[in-house]
Chain A
Amino acid sequence: MSVSLRMDGVRFSYPSAEGDVLALDRFDLTVEAGEVVCVLGPSGCGKSTLLALAAGLLSPEQGAIVAGERPVEGPGVERALVFQKHALFPWETVRGNVEFGPRVGGVGEAERRKRADELLSAVGLSELDGQYPRQLSEGQRQRVGLARALANEPKVLLMDEPFASLDALTRRQMQALLVSVWQARRQSILFVTHDVDEALALGDRFVVLSARPAKILLERRVARPRDPEALYSPETRALREEALRALGA
């Protein structure tokens, strides 16, 4: 079962050398339960801030963030964050990273192992469970990052350009992996990216943000099902053109 994520009139600024920078102001965005929403926008427009707010790591100065029925007042295991630079714990093995959430959450050892086994096999890393992050390739690290986020069985996945640092082929594989994960569990996904094609391949809907303070410039639905051909259909091409125009490209 998944839950929706709603941001209502959110305002957030952060301090910098030149005074406070307004990242978001009167910002509204909703991810329906089980929906995949992709957020596109120029660098530094506050996309990551958006995710940190949804994760409960930052608190809005104004407005409300609600997951399901409950207001977000801090981090919670039902909302998992996947980082652009994986942020794997270098002192834990692959398995240690994946089991981290269940372990601090008090899940018993047998159940923990079972969950990690399943996830590691789903991301194709069963053989590498005893390795340390530094011994992995960037794509493998990103897979571990995804598995670690999924180990708490979250209802909302917050993803911060998770595949941006990967080569094109690995990125395609990771996108397919994410789709199969989503098809199995139907998490609500808020997916930040700067890659229009990625947004078109993954999202039920995408929004394009302006520069700071971020406003929604464009919002479009993308039809499913999503076979590779659909990426080159006239409808998708029109959407791509529209998104690129909104991004100022």
Chain B
Amino acid sequence: MSPRSEPSGRNRSRSDLRDWAVGAASVAAALCAWELLGRSGVYPPHLFPPPSAVARELKSLAASGDLLRDTVASARRWSLGLALGAALGTLMGLLTGVLLPARRVVSPLMNLTRAIPFIVLLPLAMLWFGLGEASKIAIVAWGVFCPVWLSTESAALAVEKEYVWAARTLGAEGWRLWREVHWPCCLPGVVTGLRLAVSTATFALAAAEMSGAFDGLAYRIFYSYQMFQTERMMAGVVALGALAFAVDRLFVAASRRVLPWREEAA
């Protein structure tokens, strides 16, 4: 008997390569179309700058050091908020997923509060935590907390009885059972929640930086808009998009390492 046959490595990498090439071609085609449309003069260039102009602007932002400063400021808020929200969300999910009384007490309250779009909590966060970093981190953390909590909770609720039974007959009870069975069963849920949270975090970050910040990529976009610097605004959009995309890819790669036993992690 041999392990179940899987598509051979070479075939898979060839089809991966093809998918990648198709994706790259479509992005390139979109850029070309944008460039042509921008140069055609159908729209005034100050409203619709072509990608070449945006790239020039990006380069000058990088040269002045603004780009690095903004990226660092955004990344800091983003990662602190994400870490805080993810830690609290995981804890809460485990609590309400494992302990029935905790779920009875906490879930109605949490479901009510999470129904409120977190953007409208922004003014309140600024009142409570001030105009500095704390309010921005808090709003990112809140945006992250909810998806991680829900996804961890549903994983904790779905732990298969057979695994628990197997572990108990093998001698695991109490804390050990929890650590050896419930936690690994919940981990995919935590990862799924985190992946959702990564995009909510970017969203929350953008909202927070657009209302009362002095640096950050979303701040740069909003400020450039007010100054009517369309090229700079688009440069900021591109930088923020690239950052979010890179983080998502990084996250997928990391979750494959954390969950090597999953068919397709995340």
Contacts and interface: CB of A to CB of B under 8 A. Distances in A.
A205 B180 CA distance: 38
Contacts of B1: 137, 139-140, 170
A87 B261 contact: no
Contact of B3 (A81, A83, A101, A131): A131
Nearest to A88: B166
A75 B261 contact: no
Contacts of B262: 90
Interface string B127-169: 0000000000000000000000000000000001011011111
Given A89-B181, A104-B172, A134-B261, A128 B3 contact: yes
Contact of B165 (A79, A81, A90, A137): A81
B124 to A, nearest CB: 41
A57 B169 contact: yes
B184 interface: yes
Contacts of A239: none
A107 B170 CA distance: 13
B104 interface: no
Kindly name the residue among A52, A55, A88, A100 whose own CB sees the greatest number of chain B CB atoms within 10 A: A100
B162 A87 contact: yes
A134 B264 CA distance: 11
Contacts of A101: 170-171
Nearest to A133: B261
30 contacts: A55-B169, A56-B169, A75-B168, A75-B171, A77-B169, A77-B170, A81-B166, A83-B162, A87-B162, A87-B163, A87-B166, A88-B166, A89-B163, A89-B184, A90-B262, A91-B187, A91-B261, A100-B170, A100-B180, A104-B170, A104-B176, A105-B170, A128-B3, A134-B261, A136-B3, A137-B4, A140-B1, A140-B3, A152-B170, A170-B1
